Amino acid sequence: MLKDKLAAVTGAGSGLGRGIAVRFAAEGATVVALDNNLAAAEATVADLDGNDRAHRAIGLDVSSPAAVTDVFDGLADLDVLVNCAGIREIREPLVLPAEEWDRVIAVNLSGTFYCAQAAARAMVARGAGSIINISSITGLTGFSMRPAYSASKAGVLGLTRSLSQDLAGHGVRVNAICPGLIGTAMTQAYLEDEDFVERIGMTIPMARAGDPDDVAQAALYLAGDMSSFVTGTALTVDGGFMAAGTFDPTAQGSAFTADNTLPG
């Protein structure tokens, strides 16, 4: 689906970014794996299909506009960008240090803008391109103990909608993906907790956590020609969690009752 396409993926050294890079390479793309951890990006590239293609790894701190400009100036033929780099805090809002707030916003929101802006310049010049921003269901709802993360991911949705309007006339589409609970290093501690795993079966209608490739398949759709008339959208990949609307299986509106059966 992405044969002869050049795709850049930020945060490609691990988690969702790695999963997306692997899927894109398997579908024919030449992948530029961008990550603040160059060694991790290089490890991803080593595992990509199509070693005859010019896959490459580049170290990049997306929160640095100068560094972003330097990297994307060398990607004039870019067809697809996936903004996947992200970090998270878990902290009481009353004690969240300003520097931690600033860092989360700088990576998740400002970094997404800097990369989208730099990629869009190349795409507009060529008259085509797809930019995919990774938000979160947290950006749709706001989660406790994550004020900076929630704000940044909501901001990514606003940015996506704004850019989609400005770039549509230039042949560039901008969309977002809102993953739910996905099994990555960031969520490993949750998924090793038996009580938490039991709650998954009662609060996520599909009764499981997602896999990075679930998100990668959604990104593949938004990157390729099948979504040629899709821009400015936020695609949830959450096993139905947002439809259920709660983490509490006993709450009114939950998709499941406490015994994991549909109510009524």
d(CA 118, CA 215): 24
Which of 172, 152, 158, 157 lies closest to 231 in space, CA to CA? Answer: 172
Query: What tokens does 209 get?
Result: 């956590």
Residues 21-30 pLDDT 10s: 999 999 999 9
Least confident of 23-32, 125-134, 191-200: 191-200
DSSP line for the chain: --TT-EEEEETTTSHHHHHHHHHHHHTT-EEEEEESSHHHHHHHHHT-S-TTS--EEEE--TT-HHHHHHHHTT-TT--EEEE---------GGG--HHHHHHHHIIIIIHHHHHHHHHHHHHHHHT-EEEEEE--HHHHH--TT-HHHHHHHHHHHHHHHHHHHHHGGGTEEEEEEEE-SB-SGGGHHHHT-HHHHHHHHHHSTT-S-B-HHHHHHHHHHHHSGGGTT--S-EEEESTTHHHH--S-TTSTT-SS-TTSS---
pLDDT at 100: 96
User: 115: buried, middle or exposed (CB in 10 Å: 19+, 13-18, 0-12)?
Assistant: buried
**Summary mean pLDDT of the chain:** 89
Separation CA 151–CA 102 (nearest Å): 11
Dihedral angle at the C-alpha atoms of 143, 162, 170, 30, nearest 10 degrees?
A: -20
Nearest to 108 by CA among 64, 80, 149, 65: 149
DSSP codes of every residue in 78-139: --EEEE---------GGG--HHHHHHHHIIIIIHHHHHHHHHHHHHHHHT-EEEEEE--HHH
- Look at 47-51, 73-77, 78-82 and tell me which has the smallest mean pLDDT: 47-51
Question: Per residue in 114-128, pLDDT tens?
Answer: 999 999 999 999 999
- Domain boundaries defined on the chain: 6-188+210-244
Residue 221 is a catalytic residue: no
- Per the CB < 8 A criterion, the answer to whether 34 and 6 are in contact is no
Class level of CATH domain 6-188+210-244: alpha beta
pLDDT score of 191: 66
pLDDT over 50 at 60, yes or no: yes
Amino acid at position 2, single letter = L
Over residues 93-117, mean pLDDT: 97
Point out the least confidently predicted range of 86-95, 124-133, 225-234, 253-262: 253-262
